[in-house]
Every structure is written in structure tokens, then in C-alpha cells.
């Protein structure tokens, strides 16, 4: 995730403050130096780094921690507030008819972002359309058409035309029934005069309600000049940061936001059209510091359960809490988890399970877990309906038959059955809980993160693949 190294190093530094009730100058200096080092390594502009670190240092030394607040929690609160202030509010994107113009260099992810944003608007109840005006890059039309098809949104482009301004004009007319028009423009490998001239003409023709600059999260110090030139030409209202699923540093994008006096609108977190998030500064920084993001998590859960339920009408997730927990239920739960997106992103959103805990896991831990989920899924596809509904009927002979049919080893089948038993026991514990018990447990989970990933302590095997 963007600035992930900052989150990791900060958590390590803050954990050293555990148990202290007051801070001395050496403590504050160590935290501030760690922040400076991490931000500079992430390509954040030097002036921004100094401004942020000075504010944190001043507040940490001058403000008294509230009664009952540890030194670590007090500094964490200051760092959180100052980082949120640095990033600023999210770009205003009203859910109403509008035209959005996308700008950016070639390879920044504009075409993918156009389809992702269109998908996002469609899920909010609006009818979007993508208009592809890039006549410069080979394959741009085909890519945009395919991405729009995956997003199940209206698309307009003209592969035979070499006039992007005319395509934009005709595209608005052809998609006049759409509520939201997203105009994708051409990029270049560098800021060139013909690129600027072209986008200024398109801007004049479509008269967008807002113009968004699309930036690859890996962009470095060059973001400053790029952002300024686009801002001078068409005016930048917000930034879309793409490719956050990799190892990108992300600091350049924050510099661009500051340089254009704008804000972040969307985050692109993967390759599919669903891998997009509306930027929420509080949740974003909360995840960065290992504090979770329950709002984003609940949105993903709601979407995933809806998609899973749509695929099989006779499966209702709430039935699990009322009756027996079968292998079929387990398979549907796995499918819902898969619909939520990459497991490491989901873990980051759970208070006490992202952050420090993730730092302690091997780099490939989430990949191994998802591989295991896929193995379990293949195994369950090789079972009969009776076996899925009554897993206790599966003895050694059936284990051998299922393993052969699924092309996996017998040990994987036994692991699956054992995992089902663990989940079944956990579900039975939940079935006996009242609302008060559930609330107390959730509160304990949220408070459990002592900086070293201790929030897992109360979870004891509750996760589907813990």
C-alpha cells in the first residue's frame, strides 16, 4: 500500500514507547526522525516533510496527554491527526449528473481508472459512460472497450478517427442518456506541447465539471512538475492514485496533491474493475498506522455478500447463525471473502489484525493462505451434495476418492475437514451470544492492538483460515 514503509517503521518506533506515561525530548526526536526518513524514502517533497515533522514535534513536546492516555497513544493520535491534515479532505464527487475529464501521462492508468470509476458510479445507482479519445496509443480503443464491457457500462470511441476533439464531442452526443460522462484522454511518455494543446482543446469542448489527474503510485519527484503543468493548463480538482497493490512508494502523489492545492479522489488497488476505493483520509491513515478501517471493510463485506448471494439464490449467510454450519456454507463464505478482494487488503481494514500483525508475517503469508483457500475450493467441488451437507460422513475411503477427483493430496482433504470443525465450533459460540456479548467482543478486538499486533490475542482461530 502507498507509504506502507512509513506505517511499518512508525509502528516499530511507537512500540518502543509502550508502558511510558510521559515523553522526553529523546523519545520525540526518535519518532520525528523516523517520520522524516520514511517520508523522504517515499519521495515526499522535502518541504512537506519538514512541515509535517515540525508540527508533530511541537505538539508532542507541548501538549499534555489526557488523563489515562499512554505516551504511545498520545503520539499516535498526534501523528494520525497531522497525517490526515497533510493529505487533506477527499475530492468532492457528488452522486449527480456530471462530466469528468481524466488527464495524465501514458502508463499512469487512465484507461483502467475510467472503467473503474464508471463501475463505481454504476454501483451508486447512476448510469455512467466512458468516452475514449486517445488516438495516440495503439490499442487504447480496444483496451477501453474491453474494460468498459467488464464494468458493464456504456462506451463510446471511434477507432477510425484521428481527431480526439471530434471524438469527445460526438461521444457526449452519442451517450447523452448517461448521467456521468468520464472522458479518457491521451497521454505521452513526457509532458509535450502537443499533449497539452490537445487536452486544452478537449477541456474546452467537453467543459468538465471536474478534472482529475491520474498518477501511478510509483511516481517520484517528477510528480511536482507534471502536476503543476496540467494544473496550469486545465485546472486539477483532484488526483486518482493507481497501482497501489504493488510496492510503490506513493510520496510523489502526495506532493502532486499539495502542488495543485487539490485532494485525492480515488485509489486504484488492483487490476479488476472492482479494485477501486473512494478515498477517505481518516480510514486511509488509520489503515496505514495499523488501526483498521471498519467503514471500508463494511462496504466490502456488504458488496461481497450481495455478489455471493446473487450467484446462488438459495444461500442466505444469516442462516449460518441459526442452524448447522456445513461445508457448503464454508465454501460460500470463502467465495464471499474472495469477492472482497486481496486478503492482505482486507486484513489491513480489521482493527488489530493489520499493521503490526502484518509486519510479523512472512511476505508470502497471504499468498499461501489464498492458495490454501483455492485448494479447499477445488476439493469441495469434488464432493457430493450429501458430503457437503454432512461432512461427518466423510471417512478414509471418501477422503481418498475426493483427493483423486480434485487432484490434491489426502492431507489437504483432512486439513479442510479440520478447518471446518474449527469454524463450526466458533459459529456455535457466536450462536449463544447476545448483542451485548457481541459488542463487548468487538470492543475488545479494537482495543487489543498494543502496537505489537496484540489485537490477534482475542481472535483465537476465529478467522476462516487462522
**Is 237 assigned a ligand-binding role in the annotation?**
no
**Does residue 369 have a known ligand-binding role?**
no
Answer yes or no: is 328 a known binding residue.
Answer: no
Q: Is 187 among the annotated ligand-binding positions?
A: yes
Residues in CB range of 393: below 8 A, 6 or more apart: 386, 387
Tell whether 186 is in a known binding site. yes
Is 111 annotated to bind a ligand? Reply is yes
Within its chain, how far is the Cα of 212 from the centroid? 19
Q: Does the annotation list 3 as a binding residue?
A: no
140 is in an annotated binding site: no
What span, in angstroms and rounded, lies between the C-alpha atoms of 400 and 405? 9
Which has the closest alpha carbon to 94: 70, 126, 69, 135? Answer: 126
- Report d(CA 271, CA 278) in Å as an integer: 16
Residue 188 annotated in ligand binding: yes
Please give the C-alpha separations between residue 199 and each of 183, 193, 355, in angstroms, as whole numbers.
Answer: 11, 10, 41
105 labeled part of a ligand binding site: yes
Task: Find out whether 110 is annotated in a ligand binding site.
Answer: yes
38 is in an annotated binding site: no
354 grid coordinates: 493489520
Which burial class, exposed, middle or buried, applies to 379 when counting CB atoms under 10 A from its CB (0-12, 13-18, 19+)? buried
Pick from 22, 182, 5, 193: nearest CA to 102:
182
Ligand-binding annotation for 68, yes or no, is no
Kindly give the pairing relationship between strand 264-268 and strand 276-278: antiparallel
Instruction: Give the whole-angstrom CA distance, residue 156 versus residue 345.
Output: 33
CA distance 105 to 193: 13
First-to-final CA distance of the chain: 22
> Are residues 278 and 270 in contact, defined by beta-carbon separation less than 8 angstroms?
no
Question: How far is it, in rounded angstroms, from Cα 7 to Cα 30?
Answer: 15
- Tell whether residue 22 is among the known ligand binding residues: no
88 is in an annotated binding site: no
197-213 core/surface letters (b: 16 or more CB in 10 A; e: else): ebbeebbebbebbbbbb
Mark the binding-site residues for GTP, compressed into ranges.
104-111, 184-188, 242-245
Mark the binding-site residues, compressed into ranges.
104-111, 184-188, 242-245
Amino acid at each position: 500500500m502507498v507509504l506502507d514503509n512509513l506505517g511499518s517503521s512508525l509502528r516499530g518506533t511507537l512500540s518502543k514507547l509502550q508502558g511510558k506515561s510521559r515523553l522526553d525530548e529523546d523519545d520525540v526526536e526518535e519518532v520525528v526522525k523516523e517520520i522524516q526518513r520514511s517520508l523522504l524514502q517515499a519521495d515526499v517533497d522535502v518541504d512537506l516533510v519538514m512541515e509535517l515533522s515540525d508540527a508533530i514535534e511541537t505538539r508532542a513536546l507541548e501538549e499534555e496527554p489526557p488523563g489515562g492516555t499512554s505516551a504511545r497513544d498520545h503520539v499516535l493520535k498526534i501523528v494520525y491527526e497531522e497525517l490526515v491534515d497533510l493529505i487533506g479532505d477527499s475530492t468532492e464527487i457528488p452522486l449527480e449528473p456530471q462530466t469528468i475529464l481524466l488527464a495524465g501521462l501514458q502508463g499512469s492508468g487512465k484507461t483502467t481508472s475510467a472503467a473503474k470509476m464508471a463501475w463505481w458510479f454504476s454501483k451508486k445507482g447512476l448510469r455512467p459512460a466512458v468516452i475514449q479519445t486517445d488516438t495516440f496509443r495503439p490499442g487504447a480503443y480496444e483496451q477501453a472497450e474491453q474494460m468498459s464491457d467488464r464494468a458493464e457500462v456504456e462506451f463510446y470511441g471511434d477507432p477510425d478517427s484521428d481527431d480526439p476533439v471530434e471524438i469527445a464531442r460526438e461521444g457526449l452526443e452519442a451517450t447523452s442518456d448517461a448521467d456521468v460522462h468520464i472522458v479518457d484522454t491521451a497521454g505521452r511518455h513526457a509532458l509535450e506541447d502537443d499533449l497539452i494543446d490537445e487536452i486544452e482543446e478537449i477541456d474546452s469542448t467537453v467543459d468538465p465539471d471536474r478534472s482529475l489527474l491520474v498518477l501511478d503510485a510509483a511516481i517520484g519527484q517528477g510528480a511536482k512538475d507534471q502536476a503543476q503543468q496540467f494544473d496550469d493548463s486545465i485546472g486539477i480538482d483532484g488526483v486518482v492514485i493507481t497501482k497501489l497493490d504493488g510496492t510503490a512508494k506513493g510520496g510523489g502523489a502526495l506532493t502532486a496533491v499539495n502542488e495543485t492545492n487539490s485532494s485525492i479522489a480515488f485509489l486504484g488497488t488492483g487490476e479488476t474493475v472492482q479494485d477501486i476505493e473512494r478515498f477517505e483520509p481518516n480510514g486511509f491513515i488509520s489503515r496505514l498506522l495499523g488501526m483498521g478501517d471498519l467503514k471500508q471493510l463494511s462496504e466490502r463485506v456488504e458488496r461481497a455478500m450481495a455478489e455471493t448471494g446473487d450467484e446462488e439464490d438459495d444461500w442466505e449467510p444469516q442462516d449460518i447463525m441459526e442452524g448447522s454450519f456445513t461445508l457448503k456454507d464454508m465454501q460460500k463464505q470463502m467465495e464471499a471473502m474472495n469477492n472482497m478482494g486481496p486478503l492482505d487488503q482486507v486484513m489491513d481494514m480489521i482493527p488489530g489484525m493489520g499493521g503490526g500483525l502484518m509486519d510479523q508475517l512472512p511476505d508470502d503469508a497471504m499468498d499461501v493462505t489464498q492458495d490454501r483457500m483455492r485448494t479447499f475450493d477445488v476439493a469441495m467441488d469434488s464432493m457430493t451434495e450429501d458430503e457437503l451437507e454432512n461432512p461427518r460422513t466423510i471417512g478414509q475411503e471418501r477422503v481418498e476418492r475426493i483427493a483423486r477427483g480434485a487432484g490434491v493430496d489426502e492431507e489437504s482433504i483432512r486439513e479442510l475437514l479440520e478447518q471446518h470443525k474449527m469454524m463450526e465450533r466458533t459459529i456455535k459460540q457466536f450462536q449463544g451470544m447476545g448483542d451485548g456479548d457481541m459488542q463487548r467482543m468487538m470492543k475488545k478486538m479494537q482495543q487489543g492492538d498494543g502496537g505489537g499486533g496484540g489485537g490477534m490475542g482475542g481472535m483465537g482461530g476465529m478467522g476462516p483460515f487462522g
